[in-house]
Each structure stands twice: as C-alpha cells, then as structure tokens.
Amino acid sequence: MFSHRYSHWFAGILGSYSFLNIYFLDGDRLFAVAIEPFALFILILALTFSVWGLNRLIEKRIAGHDLSTHPLIFQFGISVIGVLVLSFISSHATGLILSGPYSFTWQNFLLTTAFTSRINLFLNCINAIYFFNQKLHEKAFESEKLKTLTIEAKLESVNSQLNPHFFFNNLSTLSVLIHQDIHLADQYLQKLSEIYRYILKNKGNELISLAEEIDFLKKYLELLTIRFEDSLRFSLDLKNPSFEKLIPPAVLQLLVENVVKHNFFTKKKPLEVSITSDGFFLKIHNKKQPKTVVDFSSGIGLQNISDRYRFLNSSIRIEDEPGHFLVELPLIDDKTLTSSRRRATSTSTN
C-alpha cells in the first residue's frame, strides 16, 4: 500500500484529520501544553508523512526477500522501532526550534510517541487490508485461469474424438470404392483430404462462423453423393443473418453422419434431410427410416456435440419422435462471447 502512487494523498488526509481531531476535540496532545494551530498543523503533517515514509522504505527493503515471518508482521515490528526513534528525534528537534515548554522532556516524548504509534498502527492496518485484498484478487485470477485451462483441456479432449471418429468411418467406404471404381475412389480420396484438412485446422477452435461450417458441410455432402448417389437428399434453408453467427466446428458433419448411420435409404425410398435456420437456432430434421441393424456406433456423436455446447454454457435440443428426428443447435452471437473467446475466434478465422 505504501508504494501505491496515491498513498501519499492518503497520508496527507490522515494528517489533516489528526490535526482537526486534536485541535477541536482537545482530546490528544503532542506536548504538555497547547501549541499554536499553524505550528501544530505543520508538525502533525511532518510526523504523519515521516511515519508513512518510514513504512514505505521498509516495504521496499523487504520486497522480494524470503522472510521467516509474515511480511506484515515483520514490517510492523520494524516500524514500531522506527517510530520510537522518529519520536525521539522529533521531540529533540521541536525543542530546539520552539524551546520553552516544547523542549525535550519524557512527557513530551511519550505524548509524541503515543501519537506516532497510533498513526503507524492505523497505516499498517490499512496496509494489511490492502495486502490481503491484493492476495484475494491474485487467488481469484489464478482460480479463473486454472478453470479456463481445465475447460480448454476438456474441450481439446472432446475435439480429439472427431478426427478418428470421422476418419475411420470413411476408410471402409474408400476401401470398397477402390475395388469398384478407381477413378471414383480417387475423387473420394481428394475430397476426404480437403475435409480432413478442415478438421485439423479447426481442431483447437471452440467456434467458427456458420458460413465456414456450411462450406465444409457441402464438401462432406459431396462425399455422400459419391457414396450413395440420389439415395440421400439434402435441403438448406438458411437466413442471411445466420451466416454471421458462430457454431462449434464439424457439428453438422457429425449430425449428418448420425442420420446416415441410423437410417436406411435407397433410390426408390430416398432419405430427405433438411437444415434450416431462423437466425437464432439451426435445425437438422429428417424423417425416420430406422435400420433393422444399426452400424457399430461409439456413441460419441450427439454426446460430443452436447459436451461442446456445455462448455459454451449452452445446450442443444433433441426431438426423437416415432416419425422424425430433430436436433436444434443454438447459434452463438459474437456479442455474447467473453473477450478471450472473441479473440480466439477472430484469430482462428483470419
């Protein structure tokens, strides 16, 4: 506290208050007899600033040192000794300047010591409050930082599930295409590499723009077209303001993959999937045509998306009815993000 840039103002206010208290209330004395007001004011200010300066010097001297006792206790102990010396010097100095009844006597010395000790005690109490308040803020900052690091670690763990989940599901398809049509397999591989590059690029990002996610989804739909031709039909109906909103990366791919995994579809009985947005929510809807035997599932798809939104203090809505299946995703507004997340998002999109 004593090294704070405004602490000298506090010392001045304390000195002025002490003067008014002694002058008007007449409850305290610096000498055995009364003293002229102006001289009393100057003396009180001098003593107050001297005590403040003494503590400031002690604070600077012990800063950065590894003390065996608490720094506040050590500082107060040293300042008590310093105040005794200061009072002794002050009593002799005022005696030389004012002489007469203001000369050095044990009574004048004890009265001056009593005053400077109260000033010193008060300043050290304020310093203790300031010290523990600073420590409280530091602990709160450290706690918030640790919480952020923990969330980031969990998010990274969740995001890491995307890569093997997506990659290995497509290897089997590529293997089949290689034996059926080499040219088509080559196209599939090229598009797969573009999609996988996108996933790797955004692996560490919490959010990306919906426009970027839709571009990625279209590339993924091209893969599905190569694989299933006209058996799958997709419709997109998105309002323009929606493209400015944010969404966790690759969630649409996971949802479409989930639809493909749990439903059957043929050219005679195609599966229609609609993706719509009203500017606040994104809805993925499909008519249910459940498979009799569902492909092996690791179960991380919808849970993965739910976890990622939970890290954003939001949640998804799932509507699983006998005739249809719908997932509603909140679109994140950049204005609602914290400054750290806004910087991270803007960095990732540049």
HSE, CB side, 13 Å, CA atoms: give it for residue 250: 26
Other C-beta atoms closer than 10 Å to the C-beta of 112 total 24
Q: What is the pLDDT of residues 63-91, one digit of tens each?
A: 777 777 787 787 778 888 888 888 788 87
**Percent of the chain as helix, strand, coil, to the nearest 5:** 65, 10, 20
* Residues 6 or more apart whose Cβ sits within 8 Å of residue 73: none
Residues of the chain with pLDDT under 70: 1-8, 10-12, 14-21, 23-35, 100-102, 104, 145-169, 203-204, 241, 293-301, 335-350
Say which DSSP state 64 is in.
T
pTM: 0.52
- CATH 3.30.565.10 intervals, the chain: 161-349
HSE, CB side, 13 Å, CA atoms: give it for residue 222: 17
Class of the CATH domain delimited by 161-349: alpha beta
Question: So what's the pLDDT on residue 295?
Answer: 57
* Residues 6 or more apart whose Cβ sits within 8 Å of residue 12: 45, 48, 49
- Contact (Cβ atoms closer than 8 angstroms) between residue 165 and residue 322: no
